[in-house]
Amino acid sequence: MSKNASSMIDDLVGTLTDPIIVCPGGWGDGLPEWLKNAVTLEMLTENMKTTKGEQPTGTDAEACAYLNTASLTMPIDSDWSQIYLYIAGKTYTRWRKGEMPKDIRVDSLTEQQMADLNRLKEWLYCRRTTARQEQERLERRKQKEEEVIKREAEQPALFEF
């Protein structure tokens, strides 16, 4: 199998098994189930885009999940509040088929806020893929250690002291 095909398969499997990156602080378990499902579905959609040559990035739902936990962990400034309300509105409308209340709905962002959101998505993608690579490395190391132990157990000692 070519490296490109192997990489594509890894990315596809990763969309189903990669962790959802949340802000440290203990609020990750509190994500609503619909948002977790939205993250997975959007990662699958994003994976399809990358097979067509587009640059991979994090998704709106991933950014929403991260900002949700970040806002519960620490106060966020007005720019990040606007970004969170914007991305939460998009994600909620898309996956819950509802509308954000008019008094908190944010329909657009400034150029700087959009740049911050795009940087967050890129960072989330990098964190997610790095976590997958580290997990794969740990699994390979564990498998090699188990093979060494098995080989040593099967191979009789030539000399016993």
Break the chain into its structural domains and give their ranges. Answer: 3-134
- Amino acid, single-letter form, for residue 62: E
pLDDT digits (tens, 9 = 90+) for 111-140: 999 999 999 999 999 999 898 888 888 888
**C-alpha to C-alpha distance for 108 and 123, rounded to whole angstroms:** 22
Nearest to 125 by CA among 38, 25, 55, 41: 55
Model pTM score: 0.80
User: In sequence order, what E strands does 107-147 have?
Assistant: none
DSSP state of 58: -
pLDDT in tens, the chain (161 residues): 555 666 777 777 777 788 899 998 878 888 999 999 999 999 999 888 877 888 889 999 999 999 999 999 999 999 999 999 999 999 999 998 788 899 999 999 999 999 999 999 999 999 998 988 888 888 889 898 888 887 777 776 665 55
